[in-house]
């Protein structure tokens, strides 16, 4: 049957419209399927209690003598800009459940790792019953100038991690020093490995001047200025979250 030219044009238009609708439905369905798959693959571990153990980068109270007036991780510009709050917020947003959080400065353990009774001095932290513990120490540890000193520090950190895991077997994340130090970081890494924890290496951050607080604003005290600023805190938080996510994905595949 020979069609009139006008009829051919109308038929072609209907066929094109039908193809576009079919493509839209298929592509939309594919996009939805891919989105669902990506969402399914994302780790959704909801931690009930999160314990942060660290030093001044984790938590430092007001110290007017050195120009620090905050009561959060030195030297973020505000509490919600330090890595503790950034990690907590990200965990909350990823699961819709806000964990109970405890933050403790254990710099005394760093300086006296050979003799400090951690379980007695921070008993409430061990009794907290965390299911995720983030350990961010090392910067205040005296120079490890011998293999023996390095081994003693590793042993003390290992005992700390074993004591933490004895109560509820929490997931353990250990962060390397912000100011990298081979001996300290290697000891931390080995102790973390032996405790089946997740080691997060942030040493590369120190190579970027923009990660220091002194690059963001002026400080009267050089020590405070050498701490991570808002950008550095964000980078530390991102590294820790990546470590948590990688561990969760690995456990999902087991």
Residues 235 and 220 in one domain: yes
Residues 175 and 197 in one domain: yes
Same domain as 101, residue 22: no
Q: What is the pLDDT of residue 45?
A: 74
> Are residues 9 and 92 both part of a single domain?
no
* Element at 41 (helix H, strand E): helix 5-41
**Alpha helix (H) ranges present in 42-105?**
83-95
Could you tell me if 200 and 225 lie in one domain?
yes
Q: Count structural domains, the chain.
A: 2
- Structural domain containing residue 2: 1-41
Determine the Cα–Cα distance for residues 164 and 129; give it in Å rounded to an integer. 9
Three-point CA angle 191, 194, 199, nearest 5°: 60
- pLDDT value at residue 109: 98
Residue 250's pLDDT is 77
Which residues does the chain have with pLDDT short of 70? 1-44, 254
Task: Say yes or no: 50 and 174 in one domain.
Answer: yes
Q: What is the pLDDT of residues 154-167, one digit of tens each?
A: 999 999 999 999 97
From the CB of residue 238, how many other CB atoms can be counted at a distance below 10 Å?
16
Starting at the earlier edge strand, list the strands of the sheet with 198-200: 100-105, 49-54, 132-136, 171-175, 198-200
CATH number, domain of 58, equals: 3.40.50.1110
Take residue 94 and report the two structure tokens written for it. Answer: 């990823």
State whether 63 and 4 are in the same domain. Answer: no
31 and 69 belong to one structural domain: no
pLDDT tens digits, residue range 52-100? Answer: 999 999 999 999 999 999 999 999 999 999 999 999 999 999 999 999 9
Is residue 137 located within the same domain as residue 197? Answer: yes
Q: Tell me what pLDDT residue 44 has.
A: 59
Classify the phi-psi angles of 138: left when phi > 0, otherwise alpha if psi is within -120 to 50, otherwise beta. left
51 and 15 share a domain? Answer: no
Q: Are residues 31 and 78 in the same domain?
A: no
Residue 84 in tokens: 């503790």
Instruction: Please tell me whether residues 86 and 108 are part of one structural domain.
Output: yes
Percent of the chain with pLDDT over 70: 82
């Amino acid at each position: 049957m020979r069609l009139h030219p006008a009829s051919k044009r109308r038929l072609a238009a209907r066929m094109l419209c039908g193809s576009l609708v079919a493509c839209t439905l298929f592509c939309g369905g594919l996009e939805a399927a891919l989105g669902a798959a990506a969402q399914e693959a994302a780790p959704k571990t909801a931690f009930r209690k999160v314990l942060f153990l660290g030093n001044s980068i984790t938590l430092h109270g007001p110290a007017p003598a050195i120009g620090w007036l905050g009561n959060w991780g030195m030297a973020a510009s505000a509490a919600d800009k330090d890595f503790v709050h950034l990690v907590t917020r990200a965990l909350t947003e990823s699961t819709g459940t806000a964990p109970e959080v405890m933050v403790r400065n254990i710099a005394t353990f760093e300086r006296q790792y050979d003799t400090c009774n951690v379980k007695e001095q921070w008993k409430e932290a061990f009794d907290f019953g965390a299911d995720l513990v983030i350990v961010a120490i090392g910067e205040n540890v005296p120079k490890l100038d011998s293999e023996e000193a390095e081994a003693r520090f590793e042993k003390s950190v290992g005992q700390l991690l074993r004591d933490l895991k004895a109560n509820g077997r929490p997931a353990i994340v250990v962060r390397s020093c912000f100011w990298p130090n081979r001996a300290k970081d290697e000891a931390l890494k080995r102790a973390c490995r032996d405790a089946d924890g997740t080691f997060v290496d942030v040493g590369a951050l120190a190579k970027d001047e923009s990660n220091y607080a002194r690059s963001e604003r002026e400080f009267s005290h050089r020590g405070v200025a050498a701490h991570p600023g808002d950008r550095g805190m964000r980078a530390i938080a991102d590294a820790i979250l990546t470590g948590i996510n990688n561990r969760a994905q690995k456990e999902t595949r087991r």
